[in-house]
Amino acid sequence: MRKRVADLISAALLVLQKNGVIATGDLPIFQVDIPKIPEHGDFATNVALVVAKSARQAPRQVAALIREALNPPPGMLARVDIAGPGFINFFLEDSSWLQVLADIEAAQGKYGDSTMGAGKKVQVEFVSANPTGPLHVGHGRGAALGDALANILAATGHQVEREYYINDVGLQMQTLGLSLFRRAQELQGLSVTFPEHGYQGDYIKTLAQHYLAAHGPVPAGDPDSQTLERCGRFAGEAILAEIQQDLADFGVQFDHWYSETRLFQEQILDKALATLQDQGYLYEADGALWFRATAFGDEKDRVVRRQTGVTTYFASDIAYHWLKFQRGFDQVIDIWGADHHGYVPRLQAVVQALGIAPERLTVLLVQLVSLLREGQPVAMTTRGGTFVTLRQVMDEVGKDVARFIFLSRRADAQLEFDLEVAKKQTSENPVYYVQYAHARLASVFRLAAERGIAWQEADRAVLTRLSQPEEMAILKVLAGYPDVVAAAARHLEPHRITYYLTELAKELHAYYYKHRFLSDDLELTQARLLLVRGIQSVLDHGLRLLGVEAPETM
RNA sequence: GCGCCUGUAGCUCAGUGGGAUAGAGCAACGGACUUCUAAUCCGUAGGUCGCAGGUUCGAAUCCUGCCAGGCGCGCCA
């Protein structure tokens, strides 16, 4: 609907260009907004304010000329006002909003989808937690965000792949192996000193039991390298399996689980570093190999291969991102915890050094989640092993609640998650508000079916029975949905969907309270069923994007 | 010390590439169930948009400085 108005204005501007009122050339960029106040119409544009300067006339005069030049189809516009400093306010005929319901019906459950990303291949890499411990709430937020984002990008026509990068190489795996080894020794009654930087969570003890059951007793003293590696691999694989189960239960399906090990096995690291070498961005100093990150604005150069000859984690990331673009993604989105933000400039530097346009890599930083219980912070230390896992949160409040709360904030704002509030099945908990709207409608349709009410196509004759203010308000909200999805995709902000759904649910609840849908007036009943079916369709679509269930009953 | 994020109602947060009188939920207060699901609805009250400058027709939004909170600044991952 907004687009129809914008097109109308563009056409008018072309007329004015031809008449020499405004400068020829590209059309100026103007906005068509939905005003906050009804008195300002259904849509308002600032076009006259934008054009006024080049036309060398007062904005209100320009606005009048534009209004003259408008050529709307019959029955579309009720009124066009010029207001304030030169805004043009459009008031649509009520009946023109009814088109929305026909649009929804025609889309067959896909109203909100678009083709804006057609032909674009996008990778969303998220969670990617190291397989050294269970997923915690912070990972849950990243999971909800990445998954919803991927859904939204897919709905807007992008070709999307979800990927999880497994850091299963390096020092941390040795530390993990040693932690397991020492716990195993403890279980055998040997007295040990636990490694200072070891993983202390209880889950390591459990894994040690499993290890002993599978491989038999461990020797006293320090492990040889083979044993250490076996312990590390055992723990890593077991933890990864658990992570995969957690994510599956959280409703997240990855297309690829990419192991860092492959970067070595398939010589990808060598190829990527060779590319940088060819470009002249690598140099030797102090016995190490460095990447010249300062050439692209990073604050210092970064080591790629240590004095010891072992490559760094950063080197793996160079290779991994080189590979991502080799794999043909137009857009690569990484979702990281905000504590890694210092890492962004060097990775952006790598992308540029590889000759890739920097805007093709987007790193989304997810701020941390602080967990509360009854308003009191829940203590969390990462290494110490006292943290709340995603599994615990899922068990306690449910997947849908957790996802909805995670998606009810901008990613770059810190999130407070109160377990007690999330557990309440009350209005303090917005997810139920939206789900309830959907279930309520399902209930209405069940009853309508029982009463044998005939369905009706969304044709004009029936729909003109919709004339109540609540009905007009709903139509306008429904008309805005495609814009919301598109904006969520453009800005990579799923929370826009969350807010929209809450608003739509509010419209439904108010409408439901005030008017009966099923009445003796068959035509009116059919019209209202069409309207609320449109609502249900959009609620369902939006909740699906968020990865939250749309229940039939509650 | 340097860098990134944040600062909007009592609380948690929205605020659409600068727009007209800054919004929602919760909490508070007052109302509404013989009805298609009250997990709902209606109403009241509540804000110097952290502070100070600047840019312009117009700033919560852009720029600069300051203040406060969070997170980073390894040849760790």
Q: Model confidence over A62-116: pLDDT tens digits?
A: 888 889 889 998 888 999 988 878 889 999 988 889 989 999 999 999 999 999 9
Task: Say if residues A529 and A453 touch (Cβ distance below 8 Å).
Answer: yes
C-alpha dihedral, A17 to A22 to A73 to A37, nearest 10°: 160
Separation of alpha carbons A131 and A240, rounded Å:
5
Is residue A44 classed as helix, strand or coil in its secondary structure?
strand
Is residue A7 classed as helix, strand or coil in its secondary structure?
helix
Separation between the CA of A337 and the C1’ of B72 (whole angstroms): 11
The CB-side HSE value for A140 (13 A sphere, CA atoms) comes to 30
Separation between the CA of A74 and the C1’ of B60 (whole angstroms): 40
Separation between the CA of A337 and the C1’ of B51 (whole angstroms): 31
Mean pLDDT across the stretch A421-447?
86
Separation between the CA of A419 and the C1’ of B12 (whole angstroms): 13
**Tokens 């999130």 — which residue?**
A415
Separation between the CA of A163 and the C1’ of B12 (whole angstroms): 32
Structure token pair of residue A43 = 């849509």
Residue nearest to nucleotide B20 (CA to C1'): A84
* Residues near A455 by beta carbon (within 8 Å), at least 6 away in sequence: A526, A529
One-letter amino acid of A188: Q
Structure token pair of residue A462 = 């029936």
Task: Say if residues A347 and A304 touch (Cβ distance below 8 Å).
Answer: no
What does the DSSP assignment read for A374-389? TTEEPP--TTTS---B
Indicate the pLDDT class of residue A377, thresholds 50, 70 and 90. confident
Of A109, A129, A95, the C-alpha closest to A244 is A129
Instruction: Provide the pLDDT for residue A291.
Output: 96
pLDDT of residue A379 exceeding 70, the answer is: no
Indicate the pLDDT class of residue A171, thresholds 50, 70 and 90. confident
Separation of alpha carbons A465 and A427, rounded Å:
33
C-alpha dihedral, A150 to A155 to A158 to A159, nearest 10°: 70
Q: In degrees rounded to 5, what are phi and psi of residue A499?
A: -70, -40
pLDDT in tens, A476-496: 999 999 989 999 999 999 999
Largest CA distance in chain A: 94
Structure token pair of residue A539 = 């609620």
Nucleotide nearest to A375 (CA to C1'): B11
pLDDT of residue A386 exceeding 90, the answer is: no
Separation between the CA of A324 and the C1’ of B69 (whole angstroms): 37
Separation of alpha carbons A435 and A505, rounded Å:
8
**Each residue of A468-478: b (16+ CB within 10 Å) or e?**
eebbbbbbbbb
Separation of alpha carbons A263 and A170, rounded Å:
13
- Please state, rounded to an integer, the average pLDDT across all residues of chain A: 90
Distances in Å between the alpha carbon of A241 and those of A147, A210, A392?
19, 14, 17
Task: Say if residues A382 and A389 touch (Cβ distance below 8 Å).
Answer: no
Residue nearest to nucleotide B27 (CA to C1'): A428
Nucleotide nearest to A425 (CA to C1'): B39
Separation between the CA of A149 and the C1’ of B15 (whole angstroms): 21
Indicate the pLDDT class of residue A333, thresholds 50, 70 and 90. very high
Mean pLDDT across the stretch A213-232?
93
Q: Would you say how long chain A is, in residues? A: 554
Nucleotide nearest to A470 (CA to C1'): B41
Instruction: Provide the pLDDT for residue A428.
Output: 66
* Lowest model confidence (mean pLDDT) among A210-214, A278-282, A393-397: A393-397
Separation between the CA of A369 and the C1’ of B70 (whole angstroms): 11
Instruction: Provide the pLDDT for residue A90.
Output: 92
Nucleotide nearest to A426 (CA to C1'): B39
Q: Report the percent of chain A where pLDDT is more than 90.
A: 64
Nucleotide nearest to A39 (CA to C1'): B20
Separation between the CA of A9 and the C1’ of B25 (whole angstroms): 37
Q: In degrees rounded to 5, what are phi and psi of residue A39?
A: -60, -20
pLDDT of residue A462 exceeding 80, the answer is: yes
Q: Is the complex ipTM higher than 0.95?
A: no
Q: In degrees rounded to 5, what are phi and psi of residue A303?
A: -75, 135
Of A142, A143, A214, the C-alpha closest to A184 is A214
Q: Report the percent of chain A where pLDDT is more than 70.
A: 98
C-alpha dihedral, A67 to A71 to A73 to A75, nearest 10°: 30
Separation between the CA of A291 and the C1’ of B16 (whole angstroms): 41
Residue nearest to nucleotide B6 (CA to C1'): A413
Nucleotide nearest to A53 (CA to C1'): B57
Residue nearest to nucleotide B22 (CA to C1'): A36
Residue nearest to nucleotide B33 (CA to C1'): A513
Instruction: Provide the pLDDT for residue A130.
Output: 92
Helix A59-69 to helix A47-55 angle, to the nearest 10 degrees?
Answer: 110
Nucleotides of B under 7 A from a protein CB: 2-7, 12-17, 19-27, 35-42, 57, 69-77
Separation between the CA of A545 and the C1’ of B30 (whole angstroms): 39
Task: Say if residues A252 and A148 touch (Cβ distance below 8 Å).
Answer: no
Nucleotide nearest to A343 (CA to C1'): B72
pLDDT in tens, A390-420: 999 999 889 999 999 999 989 988 888 888 8
Of A183, A112, A173, the C-alpha closest to A497 is A112
Nucleotide nearest to A552 (CA to C1'): B37
Mean pLDDT across the stretch A274-294?
94
Nucleotide nearest to A89 (CA to C1'): B20
Mean pLDDT across the stretch A424-429?
68
